[in-house]
Chain A
Amino acid sequence: MSKTLNLNELQGNILRGYRADLTHVRYLLLEVVDLSDARRFLAASIEGVTPGVPKLTTAAHWADKKPHMCFNIGVTYEGLKALGTPASSLATFPIEFVEGMTHRSLKLGDFGPSAANQWPAPFDRPDRLHLIATIYAVDRSHLDEVQDQVAQAFSVLGVRDARARTDANVLGPQYAGDGSPNNRVFFGYADSISQPKFNHLTDAQPAKTSDSSPLGTVLLGHPTRMEGVMFGVPSPKVLGLNGSFNAFRVLAQDAHGFEQYLDQAAEELERALGDRMDQLLPVDGELLIGFQKGQRREALREIVAAQMCGRWRNGTPVANSPSHPIFDIPNRDQAEAFNAFGYQAPSACPVGAHIRRTNPRDGAVVQRGSNLSRQMVRRGMPYGPDFDAAKPDNEERGLLGNFIGANLGAQFEAVMCDWLNLGLLHPDITGLNDPLIGANTPETSAFDLLLLDGTSYRLRGFPRFVQTRGGAYTFLPSLPAIEYLSKLKSR
């Protein structure tokens, strides 16, 4: 397909994020109870001129008219059924979406306390969870206003709030991929630095940059990274074309447990490395990491955190700067250049690091040709109370994450199942889970820290730091598709 995309027909949250401007987000978990109300609302949300109905945010450029609020919807398989989608059409949706996230739990590492049968309401009733509406706004009052409007047409089964945070951590000055102030998530990392880029809006038009992703990465009906293979577009075409899929996840992060483990690991390293310590923390290396002379345990904690993630907590890639974070990236261009790194051997970034597992870039992977084909868009925002390491508590906090792609099986599930929790992409880590978000148990967990001389030191015994507390697979329909759904006649 080479027709230019009409940005007015795409939901806006697929190709771009909102949080740089709108720092509060609310997810409304909705059930269709009155079909005609639901259909009227969907129809009105397209034009956005009906009082009391928010307008769906499209991908159209904002120019200098930045909105105070953005509104988008995703529909579950049960939601498509509830809206009256014909069985012949439902049968054309991919199996993982049809089954839903709760039925894919083992593939996703959702077992034990993360198992779907442990999830709180409303995620315990996936049959009733029909739509997830997303509101981004400058403040809470806008969120409340839109929620009241949505509640006129749907039953609100649950609400999840999150907000962007820029709180600094021990690494002090910050930099982010776009040069703007960092967005921090729990565990103290700068987040959302690297995303697929979509800077060409027709498939035929050459990409502006070599790292540009084909539109089929996130939009159905367009070429993908897999040569000659397109993801199936659900029918009718008006429903499937330019749609996307989203894995919405409520991920509880054990911030206190993570910091405690860093203490434990630093203590172990001090004790165990002996003469090899220089290969992990050279003399006075703590100064470069941002600490005072002699604060070597604090520096070791940061090295462990950096290698487990693949980035120092301020965002500096370990592949580019193995010994210390960089604090003074002066502008956006340099930040982007600094992020255009690879993992060609020998890389300073451990193979098992979180960001290398989830996006191996140009590093060798077992499944040749899959380096970039599993990429997806990630949009996350932290939820729960702020965490103060000096006054730890047991409140639930974490990330409300959206993992967006044109095919849940080929992208989200492929990464979760094969790479994140099995380490199948590289023989050195096969059988080991991701150290940060993997389904670990202290009895079997292991992570190989990379020393400067190329040898490694194996850390063991860390627990699972992230538990799944809810989620759903949704379809993000185009605006013509939403119009189609609003005009369905039967149930």
Chain B
Amino acid sequence: MAKGPGWFDRFVNDLPERRWFQFLSNIVVVPFWAAIDPRPKLPGGARPAVQPSESLQRMMNLIMPLKNKSPVGRAMAAMVISQNIDEIFTGLDNVGTIHFARFIIIDDKLCMLSVYDGDFSNYIRDFIVAIGNVFDGILSQVEDGDDVIPTRDNVEKFIDWVHDRDLFQLPDFATDIFALQDAAMNRPAGSPPHSLDELPRAMILQLKANPNFSLGGGYRGYAGFSVAQIRQKFGLGW
């Protein structure tokens, strides 16, 4: 029969359950780790992929704090969207690579959540070509939006702006976080090699740098198909 863990191992394993340790972690341990071994904020949005199917149905979670954090500000944001419904539908149709797009407001943040096919930059660029004026209206309601209005004159800047505010997508396989951190720190992947024991710390420090994030890149009910393939299949025209 295998011998169980010794008292010290049991003590350490139990630490995360102990209230005093949780308190200590928040105010001392995590800030201390973050100070001596900081992790850079990882970029948001879907990452480029080798597999073609991974380049379809990609998620954008664009989080934009409202300028006016009051019921009036929220109403103004809602009005911009509702006044432009026709243009938004036209834009979706013309861009041709968008499965879904939703606008929601949470805690005075206007969020645009969408599912699109292909490269992120082209998706945003095509959207601006199609309905740049609608984005100008939206941007007028959010923090730092004035920096990129009019979007048609600031396409590259606007693409970067959106990318900065698109939520980081936590990899589906937790250990992939190591490679992302290595890349962000300009280190060769796995050099020096990572131990599995480091994973909790790597994850906690990353989520300190990226407090808002998406759990995975989204889970798809019919993976590997583009908007146009679905529309073609159903005879909707693409």
A-B contact number at CB 8 A: 110
A424 to B57, CA, bound (A): 12
A106 with B49: in contact, given A231-B156, A410-B125 (CB under 8 Å)?
A: yes
The interface residues of chain A lying within 8 Å CB-to-CB of B188 are 117
Give the interface segment out of A260-268, A367-375, A392-400, A455-463: A367-375
Assess whether A122 is interfacial by the CB under 8 Å rule: no
Contact A228 B228 (CB under 8 A): no
Contact A366 B119 (CB under 8 A): no
A370 with B126: in contact, given A95-B156, A422-B52 (CB under 8 Å)?
A: yes
Contact A424 B129 (CB under 8 A): no
Q: Which of B52, B119, B125 contacts A432 (CB 8 A)?
A: B52
From residue A109, how far is it (CB to closest CB) to chain B in Å?
Answer: 8
Assess whether B155 is interfacial by the CB under 8 Å rule: yes
From residue A442, how far is it (CB to closest CB) to chain B in Å?
Answer: 15
Assess whether A94 is interfacial by the CB under 8 Å rule: yes
Assess whether B208 is interfacial by the CB under 8 Å rule: no
- Encoded as 1 (CB less than 8 Å from any B CB) or 0, chain A from 394 to 433 comes to 0000000000000101100110011001111011101111
Contact A433 B52 (CB under 8 A): yes
Give the interface segment out of B6-14, B79-87, B92-100, B173-181: B92-100
Assess whether A107 is interfacial by the CB under 8 Å rule: yes
From residue B151, how far is it (CB to closest CB) to chain A in Å?
Answer: 9
A367 with B97: in contact, given A230-B153, A421-B52, A427-B238 (CB under 8 Å)?
A: yes
Contact B48 A107 (CB under 8 A): yes
Contact B49 A418 (CB under 8 A): no
From residue B123, how far is it (CB to closest CB) to chain A in Å?
Answer: 9
Contact A414 B228 (CB under 8 A): no
Contact A369 B132 (CB under 8 A): no
A116 to B49, CA, bound (A): 15
Closest 8 CB pairs of A and B: A106-B48, A427-B228, A427-B229, A427-B232, A366-B96, A366-B228, A418-B118, A417-B119
Q: List 12 A-B contacts (CB under 8 A).
A: A106-B48, A409-B156, A410-B125, A413-B119, A417-B119, A421-B52, A422-B56, A424-B97, A424-B228, A430-B56, A431-B52, A431-B53
A residues touching B (Cβ–Cβ < 8 Å)? 94-96, 106-107, 111, 117, 226-232, 364-370, 407, 409-410, 413-414, 417-418, 421-424, 426-428, 430-433, 439
